[in-house]
Amino acid sequence: MLFHVMAQHYWDTCDGARRAKGDPDVKPRTESQRWVEGNDKVKVLSATGHQTLHRLFAIVEADEYADVQALFTDQMWNGPIEVLPVNDMVAQRKDWGEWGK
């Protein structure tokens, strides 16, 4: 199952901004962005960011919503996260025999 994830944080909860200001309590980037690699239960197909809006986007594949939620738990402390199940429209069009027509 595919999911579209949008994670919003703010200038005051931004790990990068906090790191740049020398905040000793912020996790290193190697930990705070580990979700980009996925895990045994969630495959990250795409991970992008819009830095000026402090917003992260991902397309992930997983069998269970709970596994996606678990992968993004650390991001939830910085702001709201939206996880939506989505369809692969390219695959659908190919499956329907409509690709290239």
N-terminal to C-terminal alpha carbon distance within the chain: 27
| Residue 100 placed within a domain | no
Q: For position 20, what pLDDT does the model report?
A: 93
Domain that holds residue 13: 2-95
Domain count, the chain: 1
Q: List per-residue pLDDT tens for the chain, 101 residues long.
A: 999 999 999 989 888 899 999 999 988 888 888 999 999 999 999 999 998 999 999 999 999 999 999 999 989 989 999 999 999 999 999 999 999 99
Paired tokens of 95 = 């499956």
Looking up residue 50, the CATH number of its domain turns out to be 3.30.70.1060
| Residue 18 placed within a domain | yes
Paired tokens of 25 = 């309590």
Paired tokens of 19 = 């790191």
Which DSSP string corresponds to 67-99? Answer: HHHHHTHHHHTTS-EEEEEE--HHHHHHHTT-T
